[in-house]
Structure 1
Amino acid sequence: MVDWEPPACWYEPRSATDTRDYVENMLNTYAHMPPEDVGDLRSEMASHYITGEPYDNYNLDIEDEGNFYFGVVNPAKRDDPGAYSCSGLAEWVENGEAPEEGPAISPEVLAQAAYEWLPLPETEISLNPDADEPQTVNLPTWIWQDTADIGEVSATARIDSLGLEATTVATPSALTIEPGTGDAILHPDGGECTINADGTIGEPYTDGRAEDEPPCGVTYLRSTGAGESYELTATITWSVSWTGTGNPDPQELPDAVLETTHDITVDEVQTIVR
């Protein structure tokens, strides 16, 4: 979960020769299709690339001076409303310039595409007392993750024909606890539990430590009413960066945030003094 979205599509270059081969193959295909399925597309393509409106003979006479840029859908965004906003006939772009309509393919754009493919694991935590059992007012609830599998994850995107590649890497930086009520004390203060060196979070509860302050947890100060609960939210923040062709030093991308929720009931234990 992030406030930023990778591009739904981008533009990739093809040489004049490659464009000619692609377009002539398409024109041949359209020639064998029913006119009602093709419409004016065949004549529009011929005009656009061949007969000078606006390009003459695929710009083969100036092939070394630029490329045609074709729209490409981000494979992870095929259902996105903006996935086909880069559609349409390709435009010629001179060397050193960029397409006017949208992002041109680059290592950074590849890194943004790879962001979508990061195999981020679900946020899973353990509680003591267990989340399915009532917690107790003024006694700490211990929270931890002890499977040691929250490590660095990565994804790579490449276009071999262009010699471009980018690897996007995500590293967990913190687990944040939100108790679901203002009547609670967070451990540590602020509820941000650090990731341990071995990839675990917090510390598992052991017998005899019920009244100790946990390295990661929450103490509820008020009980929930009958049939009510607090929504405890555990959120892992992942720091994301990328390296790629021409960019050996890590470049930052927006953090990724994954969360899980638990409905927590809290009881107040009554004691009788005799």
Structure 2
Amino acid sequence: MRFRKGSLVVLVLAMAVSLSATDAYAGGKGGGGNVGGGNVGGGTDDGGTSIDAHAHAYEVTYSPAAVPQGHPLAATTQWTPPPCWMAPVADPQELKTEREGVWAEESTGYVWDQKQRDYYVNGHPHKDFEIAESGKGMWWNGQVNPNRLADPASTSCFKEYDDWVLNGRTPPPGPGPTVTPEILAESAYDRLRVPDKVVELSPDAQHTQTVNLNTWAWLTKSDIHPVSVTARLASLGIWARTTAEPVGLHLEPGTPDADVYPASGDCPLNPDGSVGRPYTRADGNDVPPCGLTYRRSSGSGTFPLSATIRWKVTWTGSGGTGGDLPGGTFEFNQDVTVQDIQSVNR
């Protein structure tokens, strides 16, 4: 895909996301994967996942390939993944083919084309697109975060002239950050989808609650479970796996005239991965480990009960890298009616 602005032609070879359902990863931990012809050789990654031999070497590919079902994770801070970064976009022959095709169209003007030829072909500073150095390096430019194509800043990393970077060398500074495993981990954050499970309540929120009657809240282990997305850039042989793990549940009754349990409203994760405990008849009106009690009626209206599941986000990547990313939340809101009756059968 090309973006034209006046005489500027920006080549974007890495915007498409692979539709393969397997993990794409050029073997080895160093730079300079098998980029000849843009295809990745067969093999496995550290986790034993087979490699997609049809994924383009410059594409950031994800596993799972399709965005999973569920709810996007909302970061608890103002942080967002980067809209773009600096990365390999072509080998010498690929860039030569692309640029010569643009020049043949004669749509960019003689002056601009001549400046391009001087830079890439005539030795000022590069000669014949560095064809003689094929296999020793790659051309770098901006690469769009494929999850943020609608972001106006997604093209802010692009330069008019690509940079020739020898394998293993540090690329020159660009208008965007240089791609790293951490950058890939941040891009995978966009594709995390957590279970959009509604918190179980007893009495159920769809029915009228009762003043002074304890409401139990819980989630089973199957309701909330860790989710992961892996991102890879085959041309550099780097990857990162981003994982969101549930931490607990926070309850907000929607009125100050209510008690929550625990008093902070923060219900922690149980050792088995669940939150709270389902109500049984034997519990009667005991105080629940996770829940709330309304102390007054909602009258002719309702109270906005909010249940927020909190998630911890971490990542691990190639070369022994890893760390934490901003935590996230999934909030579910429901209006509850509370009546002023002192006793009721569940």
Q: Please tell me the TM-score bracket, short chain as reference.
A: 0.7 to 0.9
Matched, 1:237 2:310: yes
1:54 to partner: Cα distance = 5.9
The equivalences for 1:47-62 within 5 A come to: 47-51=118-122, 55-58=126-129
| Residues 270/23 of structure 1: CA separation in 2 closer, same or farther (3 Å cut) | closer
Q: Helix, strand or coil: the match of 1:198?
A: coil
**Residue aligning to 2:214:** 140
Q: Does 1:10 align with 2:10?
A: no
224 and 149 in structure 1: CA distance in 2 versus 1, 3 angstrom threshold: closer
Matched, 1:259 2:331: yes
TM-score by length of 2: 0.68
Q: Does 1:191 align with 2:265?
A: yes
Name stretches of at least 5 consecutive residues in structure 1 with no aligned partner.
none
Percent identity of the aligned residues? 39
2: distance between equivalents of 1:218 and 1:43?
73
Do the aligned residues in 2 keep the contact of 1:237 with 1:257 (CA within 8 Å)?
A: yes
> Contact 1:149–1:199 (CA<8 Å) still a contact in 2?
no
Partner-residue secondary structure (3-state), 2:328: strand
How big is the shift at 1:269? 1.4
1:170 aligns with 2:249: no
Larger Cα-atom Rg? 1
Which of 16, 20, 24 is residue 96 of structure 2 equivalent to? 24
- Pairing of 1:97-112 with structure 2 (within 5 A): 98-112=172-186
Distance 2:172 2:211 in 1: 62
Tell me the TM-score normalised to structure 1 length: 0.84
Which one of 156, 163, 176 corresponds to residue 230 of structure 2? 156
Letter in 2 for 1:86: C
1:149 and 1:46 map into 2 onto residues whose CA distance is: 59
**Hey, what's the Cα distance between the residues in 2 that align with 1:98 and 1:141?**
60
Output one character per residue of 1:12-39: Cα deviation in whole Å (capped at 9) or x when no partner.
1367xx1x32222113332554x45x55
- The answer (yes or no) to whether the contact 2:261–2:290 under 8 Å persists in 1 is yes
Matching residue of 1:201: 275
Contact 2:210 2:341 in 1 (8 A): yes
The structure in which a higher percent of residues are helix is 1
> Do the aligned partners of residues 63 and 202 (structure 1) sit closer, same or farther apart at CA in structure 2, a change above 3 Å counting?
same
Residues 212 and 342 of structure 2 are in contact (CA less than 8 Å); yes or no, is this contact kept in structure 1?
no
For structure 2, list consecutive stretches of 5 or more residues without a partner in the other structure.
Answer: 1-73
